[in-house]
């Protein structure tokens, strides 16, 4: 069985500062990895995904994430945040050999708050 | 506009009173799913449907029912709601089981 750990439930960051949101996963097989973002009073939307190939993945709104197999991590980064980045961010993992949304496991989320 | 539409957005009800939360998508997606979101627990899957007339249990199906009689609609039914079903519910769809999900805006349910 796979699992996802987002160690930080809340991350406050000053505007224009860099941010890293941490995600670690546990799985006995190869995985696909995702970051979803949830803006206030909205549903989740896909930020970026890692399926294969380059371990550095670029997403929307200037975010990127790096897949590190040895550390079983998929941390999300942005070099300079804006007020509009205030949202909750969810990491998700799926077994690549049997990938299907029915097998997608979400983390508990990290609430990113941007301080003006 | 391509979207997943859930209704209602907010619902307050009493224990035992049957309710239905509707979900409709206009993207001709094969796959649809229901999640509940609770503080500290993230999103947990309730039921999913790979196609019309095909549904299956997710991680937390107890107390819920679903149906998929047509491709666009996937209602969530609570036959006898209880306070522990107070939560934020999301419907999601995707073109196939292996494509990224499109989410509705959520339904906040309170059961007293």
- Looking at residue A102, its pLDDT comes to 64
Q: Which residues of chain B, if any, have pLDDT below 70?
A: none
Report for A35-49, A78-92, A100-114, B45-59: range of highest mean pLDDT? A78-92
> pLDDT-derived band of residue A97, with 50, 70 and 90 as boundaries?
low
Closest CA to A23 of A97, A82, A88, A110: A110
pLDDT band at A98 (very low <50, low <70, confident <90, very high): low
Is A43–B43 a contact, with Cβ atoms under 8 angstroms apart?
Answer: no
Q: Which residues are paired to B73 by β-bridges?
A: B24
- Report the DSSP beta bridge partners of residue B35: B45, B90
State the CB neighbour count (10 A cutoff) for residue A111: 15
Q: Pairing between strand B10-13 and B107-111?
A: parallel
Cβ atoms of A70 and A77 closer than 8 Å: no
Query: 3-class SS at B14?
Result: coil
B71 to chain A, closest Cα gap in Å:
17
How far, in Å, CA of B92 to CA of A65, rounded? Answer: 24
> Which pair of structure tokens corresponds to residue A35?
């970051």
pLDDT at A103: 74
- The shortest CB-CB distance from B97 to any of A36, A43, A100 is to A100
B16 CB within 8 Å of a chain A CB: no
pLDDT of A11-55, one tens digit each? Answer: 999 999 999 999 999 987 788 899 999 999 888 999 999 988 889
Judged by CB atoms closer than 8 Å, whether chains meet at A101 and B43 is answered as: no
In chain B, residues with a C-beta closer than 8 Å to the C-beta of A90 are 42-43
pLDDT value of position A31: 85
* pLDDT at A100 (0 to 100): 67
Are B84 and B17 in contact by the 8 Å Cβ rule? The answer is no
The bridge status of strand A44-50 relative to strand A31-38 is antiparallel
Cβ partners under 8 Å of residue A68, min gap 6: A55, A74, A75
Whether B42 and A107 lie within 8 Å, measured CB to CB: yes
- A102 CA to chain B: closest CA distance, Å? 7
Structure-token match 């947990």, residue found:
B44
Decide which of A102 and A113 is more confident: A113
**Are residues B47 and B23 in contact, defined by beta-carbon separation less than 8 angstroms?**
no
Chain B partners within 8 Å of A42 (Cβ): 105-106
Please state the rounded mean pLDDT for residues A74-98: 91
Which chain B residues are closer than 8 Å to A102 by Cβ?
33, 45, 48, 50, 56, 58, 97
Residue linked to tokens 């050999």: A97
> Could you say which DSSP state residue B29 is in?
-
The predicted structure's pLDDT at residue A38: 94
Q: In whole angstroms, give the CA distance from residue A60 to residue A49.
A: 11
């Amino acid at each position: 069985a796979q699992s996802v750990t987002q160690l930080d439930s809340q991350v406050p960051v000053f505007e224009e500062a860099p941010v890293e949101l941490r995600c670690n996963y546990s799985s006995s097989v190869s995985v696909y990895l995702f970051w979803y973002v949830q803006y206030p009073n909205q549903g989740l939307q896909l930020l970026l995904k890692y399926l294969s190939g380059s371990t550095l993945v670029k997403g929307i709104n200037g975010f990127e994430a790096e897949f590190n197999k040895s550390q079983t991590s998929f941390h999300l980064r942005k070099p300079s945040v804006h007020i509009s980045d205030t949202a909750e961010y969810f990491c998700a993992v799926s077994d690549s050999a049997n990938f299907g949304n029915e097998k997608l496991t979400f983390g508990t989320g990290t609430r990113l708050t941007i301080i003006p | 506009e391509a979207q997943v539409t859930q209704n209602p957005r907010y619902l307050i009800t009493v224990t035992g009173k049957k309710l239905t939360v509707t979900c409709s998508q206009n993207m001709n997606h094969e796959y649809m799913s229901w999640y509940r979101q609770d503080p500290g627990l993230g999103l947990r899957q309730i039921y999913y449907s790979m196609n019309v007339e095909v549904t299956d249990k997710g991680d937390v199906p107890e107390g819920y029912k679903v149906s998929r009689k047509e491709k666009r609609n996937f209602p969530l039914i609570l036959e006898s709601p209880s306070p522990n079903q107070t939560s934020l519910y999301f419907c999601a769809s995707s073109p196939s089981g292996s494509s990224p999900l499109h989410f509705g805006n959520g339904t906040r349910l309170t059961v007293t």
